[in-house]
Chain A
């Protein structure tokens, strides 16, 4: 009898095991910009990074990927200098499009895509 109850105990304990804080892969992608842009993004540590990126054609893509926990803030914001240019900013979570925004012929306003990694 005692062995039978101990067996049930083990089953109960095993059913209680689970994995917490699942990590997700995050990718920032900026495309369609012909002549370069300034980008600000938060990295895997939540640190805000600013970069000046040059592109030679609209086919050039800039991307940054990292793994992060659910609920973390993800943020990417870009602005270009060439009034005849366009820009497309995307965030992918686990290779699926999470959010995106774009602008055309606008050198005054930042294109910002942000949010938190969904639970």
Chain B
């Protein structure tokens, strides 16, 4: 990062803080109150209360009480929301030196608990584990049809782009199966493509999502084996009413530039005994233009439908079944050797949740799922299909369960349970030599009935003291893998490569501990330490020669790989002040042992099967690498309807001893050791600034966004990366809430039509040119609720 970059960041920060300071004023009183049920007169806990225009938020305690400190005199609006009650708005006026005590009554809306997962402890404030979340409103306001792209607004979260859609998330430099992507806290999908054109996150439609939780680091161990972080996608659930009622939601999204159209329709409803949700989505996008007017093949067509239904056999016990079918058609990936021709995905799940409301025995949750992906891809839109047409068909299945119990031990909360995951993958590539007589066809296996089974047991204990939160968690995984022999034959049927040693078994132990302590009313400090162990995935173990990396090599799986372990330390400082705003600074250091990387294999052992690659690389473990970085967030108080947010982050990754290969005439001729080579696919320094203003009781909220990304000069020589220039882009959006039925979000992304690309964007296949991001996009999202 250059000096200029630091000056830009400093100026942005200075502007942020000075703007917030300039709008401070004096505060003199408190607002206290109690929230009660209008029928039973019982107190209501966990009611969310927002005071407007300051937009300060609090919740009621176990006694239904709440308090807002240091509020200046004036007129305010208090908004009370609770999942089981109708929203209530109270307008109040505070005179000087007056302490206001309110009694607020809410009317019950939903009498019956919805399906839940035992994940409660992650949602607590001041949690020692670093948690980011994306709300339903943020998803609605997002200009993108891609879930993973919306995560990019959070610090130290980036994406790898290979086409117009299905971007692959990267958190603090960890990617792919180093991240645990889970749906509703337990459902897993194994993508079909070895080049991750369909990562798990891409199989869920953004309009079907209620919330996304991102838990950074190897700390959250109750969702499955976790190495670098968890992305938990919470799908929409049907709302339930005391008497049968239905809700209808329709969403229409349009993006200019690539003529993107997306529609959503869902109908949900229920009563005390029964509930359901039917949902459907359809997306069709064309080719986008970059800022310099270049057209990128990015067309896509997707549609899906899903059904969720459940009933309550006994009070507070729910059984829910769900089914989701999604289809992808003709999705272009100009940075990959193939495009997605068809993708048919099925996800079935069953969920039982029981709330015992017992002093000790609290909740039970069981989730069973099966997902299956049929993925067909080909090179028909590549120039090399003039001589060889390659078609790959992959079938990936994932079956599993998660069972968890939550009990109270004294003032602590203990979650324990077990999970299981069985992944099966099989697929091949047929090469049609279309310029040769008699149309010869060569069949190559990519995975040959490969299978990975993981059985885990986990526990998590959390306890809240007066000023301190503690959390400990552990998990033990038994991981076994098998496949048919890894074998490659030439056109005559003669073996060119043969590896019969394909079985492996590991027992992995992971643990984490975290503490958060309030040093004062305004300052808290958090500390977390953990070790997350990940067994090698399907690709790393069993892939048979495909160009799946950033560099130009065919990759070969290695069944003898060992698990890699992330030993991580996190430190977080939080400062919360109602007049100055909130500041969060977090830093981390990861020491990864047995890091899974790749090394070149001589042609005498195996020759590549792809025309344009320079050789074959086999996955190997290297002794250790390390990663470190920080995240900084500032959010101003909302004063006079105006607020700002700022964040900045960076990750560095270092391989102390990497091997760089010397290539001449498209062949590896030598190698040399590079000391302290940066790890590949690590994003550069990035910062985001946004400012908003709320008009007409929050009904119109315009917002500007500025994103600054520094040049990436720390690039991996061993993996043939290149320097990436920095950029600044600006966006504008406006949220208009007409009434409870109609909401319109409109905006412009990349207002100045800047031509730029991210460091993690892959190169356009057959060239050294990176895939550019879309130029200016005008978008409109129309949301109807009936």
The chain A residues found within 8 Å of chain B, CB to CB, are 1-2, 5-6, 8-9, 12-13, 15-16, 18, 20, 40, 42, 48, 71, 73, 75, 77, 79, 110, 112, 114-116, 119
On chain B, the residues within 8 Å of A116 by CB distance are 380, 385, 389
CB-based contact B439/A40 at 8 Å: yes
The residue in chain A whose Cβ has the minimal distance to the Cβ of B299 is A119
B439 touches A12 (CB 8 A): no
Q: Contacts A18-B284, A116-B385 known; A73 to B252 CB distance under 8 Å?
A: no
Q: B216 at interface (Cβ–Cβ under 8 A)?
A: no
Main secondary structure of the interface of B (DSSP, over half): strand
Which residues of B are interface residues toward A (Cβ below 8 A)? Answer: 248, 250, 252, 261, 263, 265, 282, 284, 301, 329-330, 341, 378, 380-381, 385-386, 389, 432, 434-439, 741-742, 784, 786
B329 & A20 in contact (Cβ 8 Å cutoff): yes
- Provide the residues of chain A in CB contact with B385, threshold 8 Å: 115-116
> Cα distance A115–B265 when bound, in Å?
40
Residue among B341, B437, B742 making CB contact with A71, cutoff 8 Å: B341
Known: A13-B265, A73-B432. 6 other contacts (CB 8 A): A12-B263, A15-B252, A16-B261, A79-B437, A112-B436, A115-B386
Which residues of the partner chain B approach A18 to less than 8 Å between Cβ atoms? 284
B250 touches A40 (CB 8 A): no
Contact A119 B381 (CB under 8 A): yes
Contact A73 B434 (CB under 8 A): yes
Cβ contact within 8 Å between B250 and A77: no
Given known pairs A18-B284, A40-B439, A77-B439, the reply for A5 and B784 (CB within 8 Å) is yes
Closest Cβ of chain B to A79, distance in Å, is 8
The reply to whether A15 and B786 form a contact with Cβ atoms under 8 Å apart is no
Q: What is the bound-complex CA distance between A40 and B250, given in angstroms?
A: 53
A-B residue pairs, 5 tightest by C-beta = A114-B434, A16-B263, A116-B380, A110-B437, A16-B282
Bound CA–CA A16/B330 (angstroms): 17
Is the pair B786, A112 in contact by a Cβ cutoff of 8 Å? no
Contact B250 A12, beta carbon cutoff 8 Å: yes
Q: Which of B250, B329, B330, B741 has the most CB of A within 10 A?
A: B250
- CB contact under 8 A between A8 and B250, given known A40-B438, A116-B389: yes
* Contacting residues, chain A, for B435 (C-beta < 8 A): 112, 114
- Give CA–CA (A116, B786) in the complex, Å: 47
Contact with A115, one of B263, B434, B742 (Cβ below 8 angstroms): B434
| B784 contact set on A, CB distance < 8 A | 5, 8-9
A114 CA to B436 CA, complexed, in Å: 10
Contact A5/B786 with A13-B265, A77-B437, A77-B439 known, Cβ cut-off 8 Å: yes
Cβ contact within 8 Å between A12 and B265? yes
Evaluate whether A112 and B437 lie within 8 angstroms (CB atoms) in the complex, with A5-B786, A9-B248, A18-B284 already known: yes
Write out the residue numbers on chain B whose beta carbons fall within 8 Å of the beta carbon of A12: 250, 252, 263, 265
Measured CA separation A12–B786 after assembly (Å)? 15
Q: Give Cα distance in the complex from A110 to B439, angstroms.
A: 11
Check A6/B786 contact, CB under 8 A, given A71-B378, A73-B389, A116-B389. Answer: yes
Which one, A9, A16, A48, A79, contacts B439 given CB within 8 A?
Answer: A48
Across-interface contacts of A8 in B (CB, < 8 A): 250, 784
B385 to chain A, nearest CB (A): 6
Q: Which residues of B contact A114 (CB under 8 A)?
A: 434-435, 439
Look across to chain A and name the residue whose beta carbon is closest to the beta carbon of B251. Answer: A12
Nearest B residue to A14 by beta-carbon distance? B263
Rounded to whole angstroms, the CA-CA distance of A48 and B465 in the bound complex is 76
Which residue on chain B has the smallest CB distance to residue A20?
B329
Report yes or no: B439 in contact with A1, Cβ–Cβ below 8 A. Answer: no
**By the criterion CB–CB under 8 Å, are A20 and B265 in contact?**
no
Residues of B within 8 A of A119 (CB): 330, 380-381
A102 to chain B, nearest CB (A): 15
- Point out the residues of chain B lying under 8 angstroms from A77, CB to CB: 437-439
Which chain A residues border B378 with CB–CB below 8 Å? 71
Known contacts A8-B250, A15-B263, A116-B385; is-contact A20 B437 (Cβ 8 Å): no
Distance between B712 CB and nearest chain A CB, rounded to angstroms: 35
Which A residues are in CB contact (< 8 Å) with B439?
40, 42, 48, 73, 75, 77, 114
* Interchain CA distance A77-B744 in the complex, whole Å: 58
In the bound assembly, the distance between CA atoms of A9 and B261 in angstroms comes to 15
The residues of A that contact B741 with a CB separation of less than 8 Å are: 1, 5
A2 touches B437 (CB 8 A): no
B residues near A20, Cβ cutoff 8 Å? 301, 329
Q: In the assembled complex, which residues on chain A have CB atoms less than 8 Å from the CB atom of B329?
A: 20
In Å, the complex CA distance between A1 and B282 comes to: 26
- Complex-state Cα separation, A6 to B741, whole angstroms: 11
Distance in angstroms between the alpha carbons of A119 and B380 in the assembled complex: 9
Closest residue of A by beta carbon distance from B284:
A18
Q: Which residues of B contact A13 (CB under 8 A)?
A: 263, 265
Asked if A71 contacts B380 (CB within 8 A), the reply is yes
Cβ contacts under 8 Å, B265 to chain A: 9, 12-13
Complexed CA–CA distance, A42 and B437 (Å): 12
Nearest Cβ on chain A to B545's Cβ, whole angstroms? 23
